[in-house]
Structure 1
Amino acid sequence: MRRTDAAGRQSKVDHVVVSVRGLDDAIGRWSRAGLPAVPGGAHPTGTANALVRGPRDAYLELIDVVVEDSEHATARAVRARPGPLTWAISVPELEVCRERLLELGLETGEPVESSRVAPDGETYVWETCEIAGHTLHPFVPFLIRWKSGMPLGPVGGPVISSMDLEVPDPAWLREVLVRCGLAPDESVPGTAAVTDGDLTVRLREGSAGVVAVDWAIGPPEPHVLLDGLVCNVRWQADPVGSMPHG
């Protein structure tokens, strides 16, 4: 069962981060493949992004360094690791989640506030928190709590329905994700998996981190390789209902 806070909010898979070289070129590649990427704005870290979004919480972020002399840890990671970079879980209460992880023997970093100014002038603000000292780790997610969150994407936009991660110890990571508020998913026989109610995360042995994303609404090609990430598309006839994000 998913854990919720007193207001009934629950943890959700928030986004997948893909490092690219040349943000405008990446926007064109993804959009031509039928996964429209929309400029998202710049970060104080010296990076900027574009977002592939639909009417659910989870989205995909394309990120590139736009301030060449930035030595921020995020900018260094984006430079060093092109392709799938990391992923995030949105939690309603960071401190509660940190306590649950500490019970498992995992210390977390102090929450760090950040922001982004969107092209339309809106400012979005959030806090992030690293797990066990991992900065933008390939398979250990970071935690995010939105203070001023984005609205959801267009009703007809692409929706992430599931994702695949290669990790050295799937059982361990599943327990970590359950502590973060996701629920064990027993619908995938023989596979360690969790769900947030909308999206399934499948874990298998390996070390590559995020390797594939399944889209419920998307382009006609069933398999597209974009910036090192396999995108598997499943058409969905009915539009997904819209709920506020963040």
Structure 2
Amino acid sequence: MNATDALGRQSKVDHVVVSVRGLDDAISRWSRAGLAAIPGGSHPTGTANALVRGPRDAYLELIDVVEESTHATAQAVRDRPGPLTWAISVPDLETCRRRLLDFGLATADPVESSRVAPDGETYVWETCEIAGHALHPFVPFLIRWKSGMPRGPLRGPVISSLDLEVPEPAWLQELLVRCGLTRDESVPGTPAVTDGDLTVRLREGSAGVVAVDWAIAPPEPHVLLDGLVCNVRWHPDPVASVSRG
């Protein structure tokens, strides 16, 4: 049930969001661990971010509140330090929304958002909440890029897999299939899905995103950064199997 559009683009894991206190300090902390974080710019919500990314689609976003704001996103970032939520990029929001409705889940109307990058470029996207779950720890939100970013550095860190703790792994697996990901039967003992580049493993719990595997080698193989365990695997050539789509 992969969701593809007329150009053959398909649903992908887009990014993981981690709320931090002090964006500059977080950039230094992650970069010292071998996961270079690059300032991404500011949002109209009163937040700003930095991105840990490489040549594939998925990346990690560090986000902090940088000005007085009563926006719901800013409030969530203030209240919930550490892994906050994650997103799936879909080529066709309406098709995905219909599939979720058939699964018994209503979605919110798409909302347009934007970010101004340090170089002055503005990136624009639409997001959509699933079943009223705003910034939920394990139910992702949907995103469709209208003016998307170029990919990250060719030798930048590549996300190879995610681990999520969820109360009903089989239910979330089916939800993710409805969003256009594919069941990954190669993972023993636990429900999993893949977007062709990375695997999302689901196990029982309630913490949401708990670990990210990276295809690079920092000073330590297991690093705890802002409440998220980062397991880093060495990959001799992280761009060798990159799908350009």
TM-score normalised by length of structure 2: 0.97
User: What RMSD over aligned residues (CA atoms) do the two structures have, in Å?
Assistant: 1.2
Match of 2:40 in 1: 40
The code of the aligned residue for 1:231 comes to C
**Cα distance in 2, alignment partners of residues 59 and 232 from structure 1:** 15
- What's the offset of the Cα at 1:221? 1.3
Structure 2 counterparts to residues 13-52 of structure 1, below 5 A: 13-52=13-52
Structure 2 counterparts to residues 164-183 of structure 1, below 5 A: 164-183=163-182
- What's the offset of the Cα at 1:243? 6.2
**Cα distance in 2, alignment partners of residues 243 and 209 from structure 1:** 27
The code of the aligned residue for 1:151 comes to P
In structure 1, runs of 5+ residues without a counterpart are none
Count of paired positions: 244
CA deviations on 1:35-67 (whole Å, 9 max, x unpaired) are 000000000000000000001000000000011
The code of the aligned residue for 2:66 comes to V
Answer whether contact 2:3 2:91 (CA < 8 A) is retained: no
Structure 2 counterparts to residues 156-171 of structure 1, below 5 A: 156-171=155-170
Match of 1:111 in 2: 110
Q: Helix, strand or coil for the counterpart of 1:50?
A: strand
Structure 2 counterparts to residues 1-16 of structure 1, below 5 A: 2-16=2-16
**Cα distance in 2, alignment partners of residues 217 and 12 from structure 1:** 21
The code of the aligned residue for 1:84 comes to P
Q: Runs of 4 or more off by more than 4 Å in structure 1?
A: 241-245
The code of the aligned residue for 1:134 comes to H
**Cα distance in 1, alignment partners of residues 195 and 244 from structure 2:** 16
Match of 2:202 in 1: 203
Q: Helix, strand or coil for the counterpart of 2:74?
A: helix
Structure 2 counterparts to residues 99-178 of structure 1, below 5 A: 99-178=98-177
Q: Helix, strand or coil for the counterpart of 1:97?
A: helix
The code of the aligned residue for 2:38 comes to V
TM-score normalised by length of structure 1: 0.97
Answer whether contact 1:3 1:181 (CA < 8 A) is retained: yes
Q: Helix, strand or coil for the counterpart of 2:50?
A: strand
**Cα distance in 1, alignment partners of residues 101 and 217 from structure 2:** 39
**Cα distance in 2, alignment partners of residues 5 and 117 from structure 1:** 28
In structure 2, runs of 5+ residues without a counterpart are none
**Cα distance in 1, alignment partners of residues 236 and 142 from structure 2:** 32
**Cα distance in 1, alignment partners of residues 7 and 237 from structure 2:** 29
The code of the aligned residue for 1:49 comes to N
- What's the offset of the Cα at 1:189? 1.1
